[in-house]
Amino acid sequence: MSSIARPDSETLSMPHLIDLTQTLRAGMRGVAWDRAATLEREGWNARSLHLYSHTGTHMDAQAHFAAGPETIDCIPLERCMGPAWLVDIPGLAPRALITVEHLSEVERHFQSGDSLLLRTGWSRFVDQPSLYRDGLPRIGGDLAHWCANHSVKILGVEPPSVADVNDLEEVTRIHKILLSAGIVIVEGLAHLEAISSPRVYFTALPLKIDGGDGSPCRAFAMEGWDAGLDWQGLRQVG
């Protein structure tokens, strides 16, 4: 069950950033690179990157499951950031369903337009690919509909998917419920254990890929942010 952690006064008064992004490494599923230039040969170092669009910490667009017309390059920046509740859900068994009940206190405090970060500890299995990918805890249908009905802005999870990647019906259904409601899905988060506040300002910035179905992104949280500022009113210009 989830509970809301209470930060100390120092955490509240000292704004700081927490990186929630996996480091992309050669050999990871969907990651490879070639040496394009070397200091000795061309005078500079450069790589050619070969990345699966849903590798590491990444963001899904509606086009990923034909849940709507939106592609990754069309998601406005203001929908990639905002206040987020940290939902603590430790000790989940492989393939467990995450339900509305797991939100506990957060459900009572949640306001339309807030985001959710689900801290399950699943990122500790990232170097055990069969468990990390095939045994992941999944978003239950009731929670997916709750998120849609309550206008969740961003749903961030540690596993590489919000649903069973080996069950096409389930993974399609859950993604479509969320994405068709305009919810931004961020998967493959890491280091959520470093967050001590119950509420943070969360940002995930994808590559701007023309017609993209998704993209690796840099995700981070700000603790100690001023909740009195009009963060929700941020809009992209240009």
Among 74, 82, 109, CA closest to 220: 82
Question: Terminus-to-terminus CA distance in the chain, angstroms?
Answer: 43
Beta bridge partners of 47: 35
195 and 16 Cβ atoms separated by less than 8 Å: no
Among 205, 175, 181, 192, CA closest to 80: 205
- 103: how many CB neighbours lie within 10 A of its CB? 23
Structure tokens at 222: 């700000």
Q: What is the pLDDT along the chain (238 residues), one digit of tens a residue?
A: 454 555 555 444 578 999 999 999 998 999 999 999 999 999 999 999 999 999 999 999 999 999 999 999 999 999 999 999 999 999 999 999 999 999 999 999 999 999 999 999 999 999 999 999 999 999 999 999 999 999 999 999 999 999 999 999 999 999 999 999 999 999 999 999 999 999 999 999 999 999 999 999 999 999 987 655 554 555 555 4
Q: 184 exposed, middle or buried (CB, 10 Å; 0-12, 13-18, 19+)? A: buried
